[in-house]
Amino acid sequence: MRALPVLLAVAMASGCVAGADLAPAATDASTDAPAAPFSFTAEGCEVGGFVSSYPGTTKLAGIWQTADIREELGNPVRDSLGMPVTGPLFGNWHIGFECASAAGAGETLDAFEFGWVGQMVEAPAWDTGGADQHFLLTGLAFDEGPIGEGLRGATTADITHVQEVTFDWLTPKDLPRATINARFVDVERGVYESWSDMEPYGEMPDRIVRFWWQVPADGSEGESGHQHSSGTMDGQYHPLYFDMQLAAGPRMLTPPAGGVELASHNMLKMEHGPVLAQPCVTVVYDHPSVTFTTGHVFEEIVLHEVWTH
């Protein structure tokens, strides 16, 4: 989360920075350079965390057009600045996965956890299609087990380390209005935590979510995942994506009107500025299965900045 002056400065300036050298937009996956193939499947996943929302739309690092997140958040009446919602919203998602089991890298695991941080965006010009929703990652965390290390071996993207993901229902989940403490802890990036009233928000359909990130064009290891303040990093980068297939399941969120919610990064420490915590929207999804697959590195595209948060 961010202090108000920092937020407004970023929102106004982020559409004016240098962009990318683009070859003709990719229209066929055969023009992509494949990342090392890697996938895993997890089952019985409770997924959730908090979303901080802000008014308007913007371009992150001058390239990534933010998507309007109002419908996904149940059309909240106020944003995370406490202002009435009168138009599109963009925002930061801080999401953990707590799964009953997972299979990948030749292993079957119990009690598997991971998490990510990012922003919902529109599909970029070079996207080859096939996804229902797009996010620009600013953080992705796995453990040091076979799946996490398998993913690190398949990409030079900066994968940090998950410590824990917990969903503590302070009142029963099946009540018309429940209460949750959701917690996703990244060893390098800190603690993402929220406390919220929750109510059902219908069924989320089967969905393929495409997660975009960037890797250094010179083949070195990425470093952007260790950054957790809003801004940009200069350099030369190629975009890449990971796809996540999410099976249909029920979803819950902070009631759009009359709900009580408070979210925090790093246990109320002040590293993002003087705002210690913000009213956000907590979301929770139940997915019977989740399949994660590495996608492609677009080597013909060079980005001169990457967005961090």
d(CA 133, CA 243): 10
d(C-alpha 154, C-alpha 140), whole Å: 14
- Residue/partner pairs of 26-34 with CB below 8 Å, 24 or more apart: 26/126, 26/127, 26/128, 26/298, 26/300, 26/301, 27/128, 28/128, 29/128, 29/296, 31/300, 32/128, 32/295, 32/296, 32/297, 32/298, 32/299, 33/296, 33/297, 33/298, 33/299, 34/296, 34/297
Give the model confidence (pLDDT) of 168-202 as tens digits: 999 999 999 999 999 999 999 889 999 999 999 99
Per DSSP, 16 falls in state G
Q: Is the model's pTM score more than 0.85?
A: yes
Render pLDDT for 114-137 as a digit per residue (tens, 0 to 9): 999 999 999 999 999 999 999 999
In the prediction, which pLDDT does 309 show? 87
Instruction: Give the Cα separation of 302 and 108 in Å (integer).
Output: 38
Rounded (10°) CA dihedral 193, 167, 142, 293: -120
CB 171 within 8 A of CB 147: no
The pLDDT score that the predictor gives to residue 278 is: 74
Tokens 């595209």 belong to: 301
pLDDT class for 22, splitting at 50, 70, 90?
very low
Q: How far apart are CA 133 and CA 164, in angstroms?
A: 26
Confidence band (pLDDT; 50, 70, 90) for 267?
Answer: low
Q: What is residue 226's predicted lDDT score, i.e. its pLDDT?
A: 82
More confident residue, 70 or 16: 70
Which pLDDT does position 259 carry in this prediction? 81
Q: What is the mean pLDDT of the chain?
A: 87
Coil, strand or helix: which one is 265? strand
Range list of H helices, the chain: 4-13, 146-154
Residue from 57, 46, 58, 43 nearest 13 by CA: 58
Question: What residue segments make up the domains of the chain, in order of their start?
Answer: 4-23+35-308
- The one-letter amino acid code at 266 reads N
DSSP 282: E
Sign of CA dihedral 142, 253, 293, 122: negative
